[in-house]
Amino acid sequence: MLELRNIAEVFTGVAFREVPDGCAKVVRLSDLSDLKAGRFPVLGRGVAPDVARALVIQEGDLLVGARGATTDVSIASEAVFDAFVSLDLYLVRPNTAKVNPQYLASFLMLPTTQAQLAGAKQGSRLSRLPKNALESMAILLPPLEAQSLIAGLAVSLEEEDHLLKKLTHLNSILGREAIARAIRAANMKQVHKEHQQ
């Protein structure tokens, strides 16, 4: 096992002043749910931060929530490339010679890892995960080939989950439509019966 700091760089998010016509984009904690669902979030726009740690998101980067009851983790997609991360997020840039980014994201989302991250959070109202706690997280690191296979499995399971959710939603719509049609048919039958009397 290696600590996260040995296989990736962790950067703290930056303060970002939002203005409607700004040319820079920012990803906020609330945007992670859209990213995890495969949707394009509506990113905030503003003035580019003028600090050394203000890096833009690249392919292979991970976005990790710094606040909240759970520690949200999302692998960056093209929806957020070239955007900055807000103060409520960490930007994790894996060393791809040592770790597969999707494998790392999957490992960080495991229930046992989530429990460790939750235990490291500080504060009573809106708890925050300290950067050092994230960097010192022990990561089980199989060979890259095995990481790639595990990452592929994780992606397949996520896609299946998205499809099942979509199917459940469509099933619900279909069920409501069937009920509506049954009600209309019963009503027309009643009206027809009344006309015959």
Each residue's pLDDT tens digit, 21-80: 888 888 888 888 888 777 788 888 888 887 777 889 999 999 999 988 889 999 998 889
Alpha helices in the chain (DSSP H): 32-36, 101-108, 111-120, 131-135, 144-196
Q: Is residue 96 located within the same domain as residue 76? A: yes
Domain CATH code at residue 41: 3.90.220.20
Q: Is residue 45 located within the same domain as residue 62? A: yes
Residue 179 banded pLDDT, cuts 50, 70, 90 = confident
Please report the pLDDT score of residue 94 as a whole number. Answer: 97
Q: Is residue 171 located within the same domain as residue 189? A: yes
CB 11 within 8 Å of CB 134: no
Tell me which of 141, 167, 185 is where a domain ends: 141
Please report the pLDDT score of residue 189 as a whole number. Answer: 77
Q: Is residue 25 located within the same domain as residue 108? A: yes
Q: Is residue 161 located within the same domain as residue 183? A: yes
Q: Is residue 100 located within the same domain as residue 45? A: yes
Each residue's pLDDT tens digit, 64-90: 999 888 899 999 988 899 999 998 999
Exposed, middle or buried, 90 (CB in 10 Å: 0-12/13-18/19+)? buried
Please state, as a whole number, how many other Cβ atoms lie within 10 Å of the Cβ of residue 179: 10
Domain that holds residue 47: 2-141
* pTM for the predicted model, two decimal places: 0.77
Exposed, middle or buried, 173 (CB in 10 Å: 0-12/13-18/19+)? exposed
Rounded distance between C-alpha atoms, residue 188 and residue 148, angstroms: 60
Q: In the predicted model, is pLDDT for residue 195 greater than 80? A: no
Q: DSSP 3-state helix, strand, coil percentages of the chain (rounded to 5)?
A: 45, 20, 35
Each residue's pLDDT tens digit, 129-159: 999 999 999 999 999 999 899 888 887 777 7
